[in-house]
Amino acid sequence: MKVVVTGAAGMIGANLLRGLNAIGIDDIIAVDDLSDGAKYANLAGASISDYFDRRDFYPRFERAEFGRVDAVLHEGACSDTMEHDGRLMLDLNYRASKSLLDACQAQRVRLLYASSAAVYGGSETFREEAAFERPLNVYGYSKLLFDNVVRRMLASATAQVAGFRYFNVYGPHEQHKGRMASVAFHHFKQLKSEGRVKLFGPYGGYGAGEQARDFVFVDDVVAVNLWFLAHPEASGIFNVGSGRAQPFNDVAAAVVNAARAGRADAALSLAEIVAAGQIEYIDFPPALIGKYQCFTQADLSRLRDTGCNHEFADVASGVGRYAAALRASA
């Protein structure tokens, strides 16, 4: 099988490369923008057959210059939810994706692509229906715009098209993401450098650290992608999250207890961690007021209806595995 992975040096892309290698697929064209040269580290160690800069790849793929390609796993995007340049966002997240979709359909190439739970924005229901899609920023809008294009063409599709609305993904190979790295990553760094983890105080009707998100381990994201790769009959737009909302307090506690486990110390309760000063609650930042999702939880009904019954890790187990990987890499 010959596969293209765009955004291959990003967190999800890098983990997909390794997931594909693990099932014996190494004829992989990796596509990304390595202007930030340090991102090469996410490609190192993965077995690929070629690499192209994204500016070179897209026009050449449209001209069918790569021979027979079986599937494109499209993770390439601008994922900075605080980016306000709408022209840039729509160029990278919508127009490039639309051109790729058209080329895939013309060549009968399967397309698995990254959408985002950001399309739900201010909604309180997280189901793949227009009534619940209320993006709060141009990033979420750019993803929704492409999802709607996919919806319109599915009935006449020449090859599989599956979009994945990722919720809060965390895991290895996100060290390059800066402020957009997961809270688990930031908590690990804070605990190491300051001896404590910082969380938002009360906001939006939630107590300190009790705002809740659907946190999903990147290994689970890879598993879902590989399931769809093995099931070309499954098309549509699907939520990819754990299906459970957990408070930020749970993530902080998991990071602290993972560090304790590394020293062979017993786990502590949240109350004990707070009493020990290892969690600090800070004022909610004014810049995020009205732009912040206090609660997300993926409705997995549509995913389950396809027959994908993958079991997702909860925060304690997923963050524990991630923290162990971060300790090892450090």
Contact 3, 20 (CB under 8 A): yes
Which residue of the set 139, 141, 166, 322 is catalytic? 139
Which residue is it, tokens 């993770």? Answer: 75
Q: Which tens digits make up the pLDDT trace of 85-143?
A: 888 889 999 999 999 999 999 999 999 999 999 999 989 999 999 999 999 899 999 99
Residue 93 one-letter amino acid: N
Work out the widest C-alpha separation in the chain, in whole angstroms. 62
How many CB atoms neighbour CB 153 within 10 A? 13
102-122: burial string, b at 16+ Cβ within 10 Å, e else: ebbbebebbbbbbbbbbbbbe
Low-confidence residues of the chain: pLDDT under 50? none
pTM for the full predicted model: 0.95
Distance, CA of 288 to CA of 103 (rounded, Å): 38
Distance, CA of 210 to CA of 202 (rounded, Å): 8
How many CB atoms neighbour CB 281 within 10 A? 16
3-state helix, strand and coil shares in percent for the chain, rounded to the nearest 5:
45, 20, 40
Residue 215 one-letter amino acid: F
The reported pLDDT for the residue numbered 289 is 85
The reported pLDDT for the residue numbered 197 is 96
Contact 19, 3 (CB under 8 A): no
Confirm whether 281 is a catalytic residue: no
Q: Which residues contact 11 (CB under 8 A, 6 or more apart)?
A: 42, 169, 171, 172, 173, 174, 177, 218
Distance, CA of 300 to CA of 233 (rounded, Å): 19
The reported pLDDT for the residue numbered 270 is 97
Confirm whether 177 is a catalytic residue: yes
Which residue of the set 2, 51, 98, 177 is catalytic? 177
The reported pLDDT for the residue numbered 210 is 98
